[in-house]
Amino acid sequence: MVEKTMKKLNYDRSALIETLHTAQETFGYLENETLKFIARRLKLPFAKVYGVATFYHFFRLKPKGKHTIVVCMGTACYIKNANKILERLEKKFNIKAGETTKDELLSLISARCVGSCSLAPIAIYDDKTVGHLSVEESEKEAEELIK
């Protein structure tokens, strides 16, 4: 599927993001061997492919958990204690942002901005967006998610 996407786009270097999307949809995440393959086929330096894959929060370099929590760390959210929300969730689940619990039940992600500044601080629990979060409420939402 990845090769098919690159071929359809004539192995154009500007097709990198679309190719990464296809690879992630196909394999669930982007492991190093996949990134190296894409770099070779698109004739791009590995560092460029890796840089793009790590810059955008929707790309994953590790398997995703059954559930996902995305905590916005944009300026508006950060000012309203998003960092404390993230710290509480990291402590509760014994993982850091960008990691998945050992049982693969939960992935915790920090995003540069989710574009909902008026709801700051905000987090997304799977497909449920919750704004004006308190630290305590963020933990309660997380517990509900993994029930």
* Binding-site annotation: residue ranges for [2Fe-2S] cluster: 72, 77, 113, 117
**Count of CB atoms within 10 A of residue 93's CB?**
21
Half-sphere exposure (CA, 13 Å, Cβ side) for 75? 0
Which residues participate in the annotated binding site? 72, 77, 113, 117
Kindly report the backbone phi and psi dihedral angles of residue 74, in degrees, each rounded to the nearest multiple of 5, phi listed first: -65, 170
CA angle 127, 132, 136 (to 5 degrees): 90
Strand order in the sheet with 67-72: 99-100, 106-111, 67-72, 123-125, 128-130
